[in-house]
Amino acid sequence: MQKKLIIAGMTCENCAKHVTEALEEIPGVKEVNVDLDSMSAEVELNYDIDDEEFKFVLDDMGYELVEVEELWNIFNFFKYFFNKKYWQKTKNSVF
């Protein structure tokens, strides 16, 4: 699972380094790639992490989490498709 975090306040390589290190310390985070040009970080996760966890860590460092996007991959597709609510809504129309 991957998420893209849009982060306000990162201005230099040192900021990117600190954000990377802080995000990597969150349990469940597998890999972090920060891009200063887009003021974002792509975060690969071992499991879904609440967006508030990212917000808390970044706020504590003086940065602002502006937006979180889920990057679609096969894991997210199946998570959505087999979601109980989705399945219950469609099963009567399918069968």
Q: What is the pLDDT of residue 65?
A: 97
pLDDT of residue 95: 43
pLDDT at 76: 61
pLDDT tens, 6-19? Answer: 999 999 999 999 99
Least Cα distance to 44 among 58, 26, 64 occurs for 26
When pLDDT is averaged across residues 22-26 and rounded to a whole number, the result is: 97
* pLDDT > 60? residue 84: no
Query: For the segment 28-73, what is each residue's pLDDT rounded down to a tens digit?
Result: 999 999 999 999 999 999 888 999 999 999 999 999 999 999 886 6
Rounded to 5 degrees, what are φ and ψ at 25?
-80, -10
- Rounded CA-CA distance 70/89 in Å is 23
